């Protein structure tokens, strides 16, 4: 029988007054999520909390395909509620990224929107499983930038898709197999803008699970900590 362990942490960072990231762990459902809010003042905080709140209400004891469909609907519900809140606040932009991981038997699936990311470390190799919905993400896909170069681009913070923004939310999905020894990382861009691919690989490959998320966050803070930073590490045994 597969054993799953996880650790989760979030930090306000060294510059921001509020932590507009929200994280969620539902080990009983084998679902984890990171949301990164935007909108200024308390709006980003509201948006990211609304995302994880809607996901947290998912019922237990559902077949994997049903649970995945309900996860999608929960994010759509958050989208509608955030948009409604934005309208009540004179139409200012309020939104949140989201990246989710759901495990079932020997497989995983992920839904996401925005530039929060999901990685998998397998046999010492780190793969970025999601693709940023951002201006720089599009440049990377066009072959004009690498992901490392994208972090230092002047438009690196401009996302093209977010929960709560626009009439229709399009969620991307990826699925694959799960193997013993895999470590998954869900994180906000406050981590990836300061911690390199090589650093993430080294920490995930060598750190005890109990300290892995904290060590990733500490590395981001030591490199500047200019944004809120969140990390969830999920380990398959």
Is residue 1 a part of any domain in this protein?
no
Give residue 51's domain range. Answer: 16-223
What is the total count of domains within the chain?
1
Is residue 229 a part of any domain in this protein?
no
DSSP assignment of 17-45: SS--EEEEEETTTTEEEEEEEESSTTHHH
Q: Tens of pLDDT along 25-69? A: 999 999 999 999 997 666 999 999 999 999 999 999 999 999 999
Q: What is the CATH number of the domain that holds 39?
A: 3.60.40.10
Predicted local distance difference test score (pLDDT) of residue 1: 60
Is residue 56 a part of any domain in this protein?
yes
Predicted local distance difference test score (pLDDT) of residue 27: 97
The DSSP output letter for 205 is H
Contact 118, 99 (CB under 8 A): yes
Is residue 132 a part of any domain in this protein?
yes
Q: Tens of pLDDT along 157-213? A: 789 999 999 999 999 999 999 999 999 999 999 999 999 999 999 999 999 999 999
- Whole-angstrom Cα distance, residue 17 to residue 13? 9
Is residue 3 a part of any domain in this protein?
no
Is residue 219 a part of any domain in this protein?
yes
- Whole-angstrom Cα distance, residue 44 to residue 114? 14
β-bridge partners, 101: 32, 110
Is residue 176 a part of any domain in this protein?
yes
Is residue 41 a part of any domain in this protein?
yes
- Whole-angstrom Cα distance, residue 216 to residue 181? 19
pTM score of the predicted model: 0.96
Q: What is the mean pLDDT of residues 69-91?
A: 94
Contact 215, 207 (CB under 8 A): yes
Q: Which residue has the higher pLDDT, 84 or 39?
A: 84
Contact 1, 17 (CB under 8 A): no
Q: Tens of pLDDT along 108-160? A: 999 999 999 999 999 999 999 999 999 888 888 888 888 777 777 777 678 99
């Amino acid at each position: 029988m597969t054993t799953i362990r996880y650790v989760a942490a979030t930090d306000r960072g060294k510059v921001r007054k509020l932590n507009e990231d929200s994280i969620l762990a539902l080990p009983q459902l084998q679902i984890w999520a990171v949301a990164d809010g935007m909108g200024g003042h308390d709006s980003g905080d509201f948006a990211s909390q609304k995302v994880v709140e809607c996901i947290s209400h998912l019922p237990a004891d559902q077949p994997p395909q049903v649970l995945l469909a309900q996860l999608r609907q929960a994010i759509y519900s958050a989208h509608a509620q955030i948009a409604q809140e934005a309208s009540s606040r004179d139409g200012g932009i309020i939104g949140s990224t989201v990246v989710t991981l759901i495990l079932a038997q020997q497989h995983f699936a992920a839904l996401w929107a925005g530039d929060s990311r999901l990685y998998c470390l397998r046999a010492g190799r780190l793969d970025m499983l999601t693709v940023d919905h951002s201006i720089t993400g599009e440049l990377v896909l066009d072959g004009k930038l690498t992901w490392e170069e994208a972090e230092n681009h002047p438009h690196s913070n401009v996302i093209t898709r977010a929960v709560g923004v626009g009439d229709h939310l399009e969620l991307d999905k990826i699925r694959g197999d799960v193997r013993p020894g895999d470590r998954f990382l869900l994180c906000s861009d406050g981590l990836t803008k300061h911690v390199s691919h090589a650093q993430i690989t080294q920490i995930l490959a060598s750190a005890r699970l109990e300290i892995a998320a904290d060590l990733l966050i500490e590395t981001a803070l030591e490199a500047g900590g200019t944004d809120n930073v969140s990390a969830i590490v999920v380990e398959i045994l």
